[in-house]
Structure 1
């Protein structure tokens, strides 16, 4: 806007000067408004620039010619007591303040956008972690031990580490079951689940259970060991 004022200095100065001169001659604001209206009708180019007088603000609205891709008129307010240069400077200052305000607004929006983007990424990461945890495979008890189905469908269970020996016997051995106890330290205690307590466990299944006790340190040593059989019903 300041550039347009500078391009219309003569007309702006003439219009701004005409108002205080008329007021100095004792012409009132209302009479001045009628005079401007009459001068417009008479074809006065200076009066033609004046769009409206604002008595309460001591300013007036002027029509500024803008020559760019097409000719047009822009209405802007000017202080009656200031020159065109002073009004141009005021518009420069207003433009600078507006640009500074827009820059601050843009910076604030950019920071808010980055914060929102960071928050969204964090939420997506957390949701992904929750989804991963919720879809984790549930470990069943048979996956915690070494086991197999022996001859005639007898389930044989043995521990995977030394801490499971006692748990294997106390938690999973019931009446009628057999425990194969190793003679050597480091071997596995093995439980043979007897699904037919009224009948003895076949010798072949007992041998299979005994072989399972050799798993681990005993097996790595290359030496097989015999074990003792305990029947829970006899304890």
Structure 2
């Protein structure tokens, strides 16, 4: 008997209403498998929200009935464990999100953050406009800027030099331009 002939015979038996043939959904005889449709028991403890009254099951024809049942039972058990772990992780994630939200609402954002997140926040600190230059704050609390190269020297002189600032430059090729930013209140420069 060829596989095609067997598939035709199963279809004929299904049309005739044979009780076993009506449970066969698909034949995959080249891979030695068959798909059957079974009714779910009335007291099934699955809480998956599925309202279907039937379930499709693939059976391996090279195994015994007990081996197929044991395999299906192991698969179901594994799936139930995965569902439990997933639900546990989801609950943990929701709890962490609520904790973060409470921390932010209380005004203490860093209390809810972990160590890695604190480092990430520190890395994202916004740079001041003058940090691209050489800079320091003098003992008189004045900002002193110097260019790193000729392009930055030009930028300091053209864009950032205001009339109240002090400009220092040497008459040497490649010397840095230095700008001492004075406060706008008209304070006298220190001697």
TM-score normalised over the length of structure 1 = 0.38
Higher helix share: 1
Bigger relative CO (Cα 8 Å, ≥ 6 apart): 1
